[in-house]
Structure 1
């Protein structure tokens, strides 16, 4: 039987009427939000391995009802982007919390099993059909499209809950905050354990809000068609990488994640060597919530920025894991409250690729600290997570916690021959 996805129904789910009448009406976008307008939405999917639901139809209605109640606490996700025009083809943007609704789709993939998704090391094409794309190709399209879309797909022996969210409205931390809150309500809770904070007084730089509209009419970072491979690192393997990096660098301050980033970077570059003088680049996401004293942990919206490290190919490959990890550690150590504040204050600008033909940077995304496996909707925690194809660009590395405690899974998007070579180096 062909492995295909059959769409059963699709509808808009709004917050409950009572909550909608008392919720916030408008949410300003901060400069970190605005910089993501031309980029693609966040796409994630949770995989559940169980077929013990009392009634599939009851389950779908239950998830719709609990989603509606979750939106009570996250009204921006039921709204739409809005723009106020200004002179000179510019506009300022905000979220109109108008309760227009999030999209909810019910689908069936009767011939697709959980193992078809989680066992292949290369993410199968079917996954792209399990995560909705109705939030638009770019975040800018949120003016006319939902800011959140959910697709619940019945599998032969489980369930796949795919979510797409407008990245100009949420970052990874806010995205998983919402999913964990929705799962709490699905389990029967009337309230959520951690309420989002929508206050923008600490991050809304008014002089940065005017955006040049023509720049937003095309996607500046088009998704690529390269394969995506999943690499798994056990707690034991990660411990070995950390110990090796610290030993080589003569220090004890290199973290597990820093050692892993250095290992992935060196493996990718070694698998696609050009010449010793080539400059290699890694972009590392820096979370501002942990650095800015004025920014609460439950802040809703984007609160991160990329830190960039440049190393010559010869230094990266010849000086060892410890040297690369130490450079990463030093870069991250410089990201203080003051550094984050300076990044926030920068003018919002959009840049197309220069087409120079230089090797693509390694772009780190997501975090192993996100509570992926706390998303228990009432039938147990997920057994895996995958990201959507629309979000992939060459060189992107998406980091997730592994299902077992202490492990880390990474999805890497690079040329197939590079991935094959990296696989040999990872053994």
Structure 2
């Protein structure tokens, strides 16, 4: 039997109650994501114990509807207000227009078909909702949240696409976990979202007029030759070795596990590209959560709270000075992200219409995500997820996402490069750097 995904039904799911807010203003942190693609991530589970397909789907629809009561922006629509010429401001109308819910089946696709291949297989793209738009700007006419539940031969995949102008990764997983809590039978959620933009950092709590002509273009242009998406797994033991080596070489104890891993990844990427006639200046861009760095931001802040500091290092310095020197530079750049610096960075980027500012050099390595996200706490009532997977469609080469691994204290890196590059990287990533 051919491995294909059959779409059985699609409908809109609205909240059950009157929305707690009528509109959500978008600030510069949010606006800079209008020209790029939405968040596209899902979880794979073992088969739930339900009497029938219909019981499972109706249960998930009902629990999604109740979850949207707590997250009304995700059931709303993006609104652009023209201000003459090519200028507009944006907000989310919390009008309960609904999230898209698709039910699909892939009877010949097993859990192992998704989690065991060397590269994330093409079939995974079919496990996410279709026709949701190329960029976040198209949330004007399309749902801001789209869900696809695909029944597999021996499991279930729940794929979610969320408009990135409305939510960042932290807010995305806040919603996902809250939905799972309601699915398990809870009447409330463990952490309430906070939508008040006045709690945002100084300089980012206002809605800005921005130019709109290019917003329908994806500014994270995909490669001409489709790269592959591969998951590199790092165990607790391997991570401990990397962290210890980085701190020892740098003569410090302040380099974190993720900083050491990011340095190892960056050096491995450069070593893999060294014969490709690329520019000698290498650029690393790191997506850093601002909630713990901006004093006025509460933990439950719903929206985008990210900064993207960039680090440019010469190729020779990057490779010759070792893991510790690179990790220390990363640590220093991250430590510089104060309240004022984060607000200033957001201001620059909304003016350029990009999530980050070009800093010269070769194509950047962009590292996002976090191993601290409670991905495996998303238990819908039939056990924790087996694995997390992202859609490999329309991504930009050099994009890396960090997730917690299924095993305790491990980290998985989803890395998007051409196959030849990934094969070379694997040789460097799987050994402790000398």
Fold conserved between structures, TM > 0.5: yes
* RMSD (CA atoms): 2.0
Secondary structure of 2:47's counterpart equals coil
How much has 1:356 moved relative to structure 2? 12
Match of 2:222 in 1: 223
**Which of 105, 108, 111 is residue 105 of structure 2 equivalent to?**
108
1:277 shift after superposition? 6.9
Structure 2: where are the runs of 5+ without partners? none
Number of aligned residue pairs: give it. Answer: 424
Structure 2: distance between partners of 1:125 and 1:276: 29
The residue aligned with 1:6 is 6
1:394 shift after superposition: 0.6
What residue is the counterpart of 1:363 in the other structure?
366
- Please say if 1:212 is aligned against 2:215: no
Cα 1:207/1:163, change in 2 over 3 Å? closer
The 8 Å contact of residues 111 and 154 in structure 2, kept in 1 or not, is answered as yes
Alignment-derived partner of residue 87 in structure 1 = 84
Does the alignment pair 1:376 with 2:374? no
TM-score, structure 1 normalization: 0.95
In the alignment, which of 36, 39, 43 is matched to residue 40 of structure 2? 43
2:26 counterpart of 1:29? yes
1:193 to 190, 195, 199: 190
Distance 2:397 2:54 in 1: 40
State how far apart, in whole Å, the 2-side matches of 1:55 and 1:285 are. 42
Q: CA deviation at 1:324?
A: 0.5
TM-score by length of 2: 0.94
Structure 1 segments, 4+ long, off by >6 Å, are 352-357
SS at match of 1:228: strand
| Alpha-carbon distance change, 130 to 308 in structure 1, aligned in 2, over 3 angstroms | same
- Going from structure 1 to structure 2, the CA distance change for 1:88 and 1:207 (only over 3 Å counts) comes to farther
Tell me by how many angstroms 1:358 deviates: 5.6
Q: CA contact under 8 A between 1:208 and 1:348: conserved in structure 2?
A: no
**1:124 and 2:121 matched:** yes
Change (3 A) 1:184 1:288: same
Matches of 1:350 and 1:94, distance apart in 2: 17
Residue 416 of structure 1: how far off its partner (Å): 1.4
Deviates more, 1:398-407 or 1:272-281: 272-281
Change (3 A) 1:202 1:342: farther
CA distance in 1, matches of 2:360, 2:330: 25
Q: Equivalent residue for 1:64?
A: 61
Shifted more, 47-56 versus 154-163: the winner is 47-56
| Secondary structure in structure 2 of the residue aligned to 1:58 | helix
| Residues 1:394 and 1:55: Cα distance change in structure 2 (over 3 Å) | same
| Equivalent residues of 2:12, 2:100 under 8 A apart | yes
SS in 2 for 1:389: coil
Output aligned runs, 1:19-418, within 5 Å: 19-20=17-18, 22-50=19-47, 52-203=49-200, 205=204, 209-224=208-223, 225-274=226-275, 278-346=280-348, 347-350=350-353, 359-390=362-393, 392-418=395-421
8 Å contact kept, 1:51–1:157: no
Cα pair 1:134 1:146 within 8 Å, conserved: no
